[in-house]
């Protein structure tokens, strides 16, 4: 299950992706660049980078508002993990 900061990151970065892709398509249409695989890949990469940057801004803003989040501590011992979830050890 997502926590609130990562849910906001997912929602906002998805919205930013579609907006950036729309603007990139529009810009490339105005430049007269023909549609094709290379153009589609360029639009995807540009929109992905802009979306990633937007998600990072959301995380940064959330951290400034709420303070740093505690990192989850995981067990590095596999046998202890299997014992916790009830699996027999081999």
**Per-residue pLDDT tens for 13-72?**
999 999 999 999 999 999 999 999 999 999 999 999 999 999 999 888 888 887 776 655
Q: If DSSP states are collapsed to H, E and C, what string results for the chain?
A: CCCHHHHHHHHHHHHHHHHHHHHHHHHHHHHCCCCCHHHHHHHHHHHHHHHHHHHHHHHHHHHHHHCCCCCCCCCCCHHHHHHHHCCCCC
pLDDT of residue 50: 97
pLDDT of residue 73: 56
With cut-offs at 50, 70 and 90, classify the pLDDT of residue 82. Answer: confident
pLDDT of residue 76: 63
């Amino acid at each position: 299950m997502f926590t609130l900061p990562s849910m906001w990151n997912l929602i906002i970065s998805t919205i930013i992706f579609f907006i950036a892709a729309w603007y990139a398509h529009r810009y490339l249409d105005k430049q007269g660049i023909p549609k094709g695989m290379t153009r589609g890949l360029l639009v995807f990469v540009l929109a992905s980078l802009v979306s990633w940057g937007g998600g990072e801004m959301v995380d940064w803003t959330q951290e400034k508002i709420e303070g740093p989040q505690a990192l989850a501590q995981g067990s590095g011992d596999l046998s202890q993990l299997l014992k916790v979830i009830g699996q027999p050890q081999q």
